């Protein structure tokens, strides 16, 4: 399994499947939410916050990078 690349500004993203499963979000808006990365803030020690402009569905505006997947 190849490691996921971290999101960068301008990337289209969605919530990561493994994170959605871990919180039991199998239905509803979260699994279908899509957005564009507006900013990336690296706070060190693997703590990266991503600001997302959601275009489909709703989610938190600031999300941990490990909880996102970059869309192809």
Q: What is the pLDDT of residues 2-59, one digit of tens each?
A: 567 789 999 999 999 999 999 999 999 999 999 999 999 999 998 999 999 999 877 7
**DSSP code, position 20:** H
Q: Which two tokens stand for residue 54?
A: 């959601």
Residue 19 lies in a domain: yes
Number of domains in the chain: 1
pTM of the model: 0.87
Residue 2 lies in a domain: no
pLDDT at position 9 is 96
pLDDT at position 3 is 62
Residue 55 lies in a domain: yes
pLDDT at position 5 is 78
pLDDT at position 72 is 84
- On the question of pLDDT at 1 being above 60, the answer is no
Q: Which two tokens stand for residue 70?
A: 């970059």
Write out the DSSP string of 19-72: HHHHTT--SSSGGG-EEEEEEEEE-STT-EEEEEEEEES---SEEEGGGEEE--
Q: Which domain holds residue 42?
A: 12-70
């Amino acid at each position: 399994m190849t490691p996921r690349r971290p999101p960068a500004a301008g990337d289209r993203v969605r919530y990561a499947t493994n994170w959605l499963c871990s919180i039991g979000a199998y239905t509803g808006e979260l699994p279908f939410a899509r957005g564009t990365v507006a900013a990336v803030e690296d706070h060190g020690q693997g703590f990266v916050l991503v600001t997302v402009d959601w275009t489909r569905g709703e989610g938190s505006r600031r999300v941990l990078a490990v909880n996102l997947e970059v869309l192809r």
